[in-house]
């Protein structure tokens, strides 16, 4: 079997150190573990690497990170970018600091300058830094919101966005072309510093990032007026967010910010949560306990690299805290930004908003009413960033924000990835603005439903780990692709879009035709009554994801409808 062959090759390879070999010897009787560690090479895709930390070709370790970095170095040199340098950040996960230094020194050994943060920093600040320092590339060592056993390696290009076509494919070719770990160049930290290649950055970039955040604030005077009246509970979930989140809130004038003490310090074990993900309601347990104690208005969480954001809002009528999903968060920020800019005469005629295809259709109504051009892209912020780059190139639109349902927002165009710190700031500001009017963020959400329609969305993920799980995900996608249903639950399918094959089937006209769709393993169903559903494998986790959206006549009606559509999707997969 191929995986056993690779396992034994690592044990016999002189390029593999003794510590790694000892780790491999400990699993010699565990065939399942050997298989999962070696059944494939950890793929350099989406924007880099993500996997379980450990020994093996399908694991995050110094060999897989080294190979990825050498491939990136080779590509940078071919594009004469070595003097522009690479910015490098890392989060609180196990081995993040070590992998970040390893990446630095491999790049330095190739004659490429690096700018490494002195300590852990959020992913959005890394995106900002690439542009601020005019770097050719950027790297952040993070596995975002994955469980503790994971880590990752995300690569950014000169526009501050995660690498996308064709750069991603070209870098991947360079990584795959490395046939031996002996091709990975090495240099000592002392040699790299003396050569002027290894540079440490920190406070000076923090200061510029904070100034940028202040520049997108729209109502600083209301914050000062209401500073003592609004209470915010915040948790970084043992990640990178605490330092900058509390700093921006403090400098804007918020005086009642309560940080969850047990989750304030960085810790790659994530000891107080099973899953450090603000999408998971369980991650808010300690924060909600504190919120009830201090009578907080809003409760905010960032994931470990602070690109995602979660939110609970107090309902003054019931005293309960209401969980906002990713769509509700994005819609709240969009509505606040657009309306405030319009009222202040700052909403330009060429303003655009970008959302992903699985995000709420309420966005369409908000943009229609306010004269904002809406663009839809595939899931992933690299696609949002690519659209912003297109605007710049053609000198057409100005992006006011981009968002996706998976708890990510981007504001303006300085940061080209999800920015949980900017979202935290604007949600806090919006909560203050509405409190000044005697309202909560939940009250405003209800007004949005009344104005634009009772839209409701849901997302279901099935985790399928390992080689068997990967095959099951593939089989599930192929089953539906080859036999697309004409009905999902009780709802008729009007059109079926297969983004991988570039085809659209129109059931009303009974024809299938080719369309210039962006290529991705996504299946999308347009249903009757402005309903929709979609399925795709995750690009970063061992999951298959199902999305669905409805529009009801009331909040209760919308909730019932989305439950029924979810049941229909579940039956489709059984």
**Which numeric CATH code is attached to 455-573?**
3.30.310.50
Residue 115 CA to residue 58 CA, distance in Å, equals 28
| Mean pLDDT within 531-537 | 93
pLDDT band of 45, cuts 50, 70, 90: low
| Mean pLDDT within 425-446 | 97
pLDDT of residue 519: 85
Task: Pick the closest to residue 311 from 424, 422, 402 (CA basis).
Answer: 424
Has residue 478 got a pLDDT over 90? yes
Looking at domain 217-452, which of 3.40.50.2300, 3.90.1150.10, 1.10.10.10, 3.40.120.10 is its CATH number? 3.40.120.10
ω into 221 cis (within 30 of 0): no
Per mean pLDDT, which range of 354-363, 373-382, 460-469 is the poorest? 460-469
Per the CB < 8 A criterion, the answer to whether 157 and 102 are in contact is no
What are the tokens at 303?
Answer: 């994931």
Strand stretches in 93-226, DSSP E: 114-117, 137-141, 150-157, 198-201
Residue 174 CA to residue 161 CA, distance in Å, equals 20
Has residue 46 got a pLDDT over 70? no
Task: Pick the closest to residue 194 from 309, 69, 257, 105 (CA basis).
Answer: 105
Has residue 44 got a pLDDT over 80? no
HSE-up of residue 530 (Cα within 13 Å, Cβ side):
15
Q: How far apart are the first and last CA of the chain?
A: 32
Report the Cα 429 to chain-centroid distance in Å.
23
Share of the chain above pLDDT 90, in %: 83
Find the Cα–Cα–Cα–Cα dihedral 165, 171, 177, 182, rounded to 10°.
Answer: -160
- Do 40-201 and 217-452 share a fold? yes
Share of the chain above pLDDT 70, in %: 99
Report the Cα 12 to chain-centroid distance in Å.
39
| Mean pLDDT within 410-414 | 92
pLDDT of residue 165: 86
**Which residue has 């899953």 as its token pair?**
275
Domain boundaries, the chain: 40-201, 217-452, 455-573
What are the tokens at 505?
Answer: 């089937």
Per-residue b or e along 72-87, where b marks 16 or more CB atoms closer than 10 Å to that residue's CB: bbbbbeeeebbebbbb
pLDDT band of 514, cuts 50, 70, 90: confident
* DSSP for 95-108, written as a single string: THHHHHHHHHHHHH
Indicate yes or no: pTM above 0.85.
yes
Mean pLDDT of the chain: 94
pLDDT of residue 529: 87
Handedness of CA 165, 499, 43, 154 (dihedral sign): positive
HSE-up of residue 34 (Cα within 13 Å, Cβ side):
20
Q: Which residue has the higher pLDDT, 489 or 455?
A: 455
Count the neighbouring beta carbons within 10 Å of the beta carbon of residue 554.
11
Query: Whats the size of the chain, residue-wise?
Result: 574
The string of pLDDT tens digits covering residues 118-165 is 999 999 999 999 999 999 999 999 998 889 999 999 999 999 999 988
The string of pLDDT tens digits covering residues 337-353 is 999 999 999 999 999 99
What are the tokens at 413?
Answer: 């165009």
Residue 340 CA to residue 369 CA, distance in Å, equals 14
Task: Pick the closest to residue 128 from 329, 307, 379 (CA basis).
Answer: 307
pLDDT of residue 42: 85
Q: Catalytic site residue 215?
A: no
Question: Which residue among 144, 164, 283, 359 is the active-site one?
Answer: 144
The string of pLDDT tens digits covering residues 176-195 is 999 899 999 999 999 999 99
Residue 174 CA to residue 180 CA, distance in Å, equals 13
Report the Cα 239 to chain-centroid distance in Å.
15
pLDDT of residue 468: 86
The string of pLDDT tens digits covering residues 260-315 is 999 999 999 999 998 899 999 999 999 999 999 999 999 999 999 999 999 999 99
**Which numeric CATH code is attached to 40-201?**
3.40.120.10
| Antiparallel, parallel or unpaired: β 351-356 and 86-90 | unpaired
pLDDT of residue 563: 94
Per the CB < 8 A criterion, the answer to whether 101 and 95 are in contact is no
């Amino acid at each position: 079997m191929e995986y056993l062959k690779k396992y034994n090759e690592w044990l016999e390879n002189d390029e593999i150190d003794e510590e790694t070999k000892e780790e491999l010897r400990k699993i010699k009787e565990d065939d399942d573990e050997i298989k999962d560690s070696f059944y494939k090479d950890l793929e350099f895709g989406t924007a880099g690497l993500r996997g379980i930390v450990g020994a093996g070709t399908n694991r995050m370790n110094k060999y897989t990170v080294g190979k990825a970095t050498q491939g990136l170095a080779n590509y940078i040199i071919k594009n004469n970018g070595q003097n522009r340098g690479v910015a490098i950040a890392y989060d609180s996960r196990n081995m993040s600091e070590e992998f970040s230094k390893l990446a630095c020194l491999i790049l330095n050994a190739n004659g490429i300058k690096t700018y490494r943060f002195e300590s852990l920093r959020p992913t959005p600040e890394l995106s900002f830094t690439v542009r601020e320092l005019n770097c050719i590339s950027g790297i952040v060592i993070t596995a975002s919101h994955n469980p503790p056993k994971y880590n990752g390696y995300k690569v950014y290009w000169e526009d501050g966005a995660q690498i996308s076509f064709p750069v991603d494919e070209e870098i991947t070719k360079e990584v795959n072309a490395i046939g031996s770990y002996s091709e990975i160049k090495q240099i000592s930290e002392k040699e790299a510093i003396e050569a002027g290649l290894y540079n440490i950055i920190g406070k000076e970039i923090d200061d510029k990032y904070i100034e940028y955040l202040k520049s997108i604030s729209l109502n600083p005077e209301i914050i000062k007026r209401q500073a003592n009246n609004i209470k915010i509970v915040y948790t970084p979930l043992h990640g990178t967010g605490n330092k900058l989140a509390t700093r921006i809130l403090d400098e804007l004038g918020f005086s009642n910010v309560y940080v969850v003490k047990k989750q304030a310090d960085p810790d790659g074990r994530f000891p107080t949560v099973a899953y450090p993900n603000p999408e998971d309601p369980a991650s808010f347990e300690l924060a909600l306990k504190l919120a009830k104690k201090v009578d907080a208005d809003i409760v905010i969480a960032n994931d470990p690299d602070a690109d995602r954001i979660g939110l609970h809002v107090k309902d003054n009528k019931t005293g309960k805290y209401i969980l906002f999903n990713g769509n509700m968060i994005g819609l709240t920020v969009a509505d606040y930004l657009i309306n405030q800019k319009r009222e202040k005469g700052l909403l330009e005629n060429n303003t655009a908003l970008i959302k992903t295809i699985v995000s709420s259709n309420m966005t369409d109504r908000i943009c229609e009413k306010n004269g904002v051009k809406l663009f839809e892209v595939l899931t992933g912020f690299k696609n949002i960033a690519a659209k912003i780059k297109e605007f710049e190139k053609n000198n057409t639109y100005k992006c006011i924000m981009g968002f996706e349902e998976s708890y990510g927002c981007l504001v303006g165009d300085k940061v080209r990835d999800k920015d949980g710190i900017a979202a935290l700031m604007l949600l806090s500001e919006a909560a203050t603005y509405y409190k000044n009017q005697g309202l909560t963020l939940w009250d405003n959400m209800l007004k949005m439903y009344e104005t634009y329609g009772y839209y409701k969305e849901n997302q279901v993920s099935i985790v399928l780990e390992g080689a068997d799980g990967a095959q099951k995900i593939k089989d599930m996608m192929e089953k539906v692709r080859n036999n697309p249903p004409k009905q999902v639950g009780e709802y008729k399918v009007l059109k079926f879009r297969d983004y991988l094959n570039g085809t659209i089937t129109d059931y009303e006209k009974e024809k299938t035709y080719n369309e210039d769709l962006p290529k991705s393993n996504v299946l999308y169903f347009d249903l009757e009554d402005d309903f929709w559903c979609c399925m795709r494998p995750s690009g970063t986790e061992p999951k298959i994801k199902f999305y669905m959206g409805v529009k009801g006549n009331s909040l209760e009606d919308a909730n019932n409808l989305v439950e029924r559509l979810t049941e229909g999707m579940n039956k489709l997969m059984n």
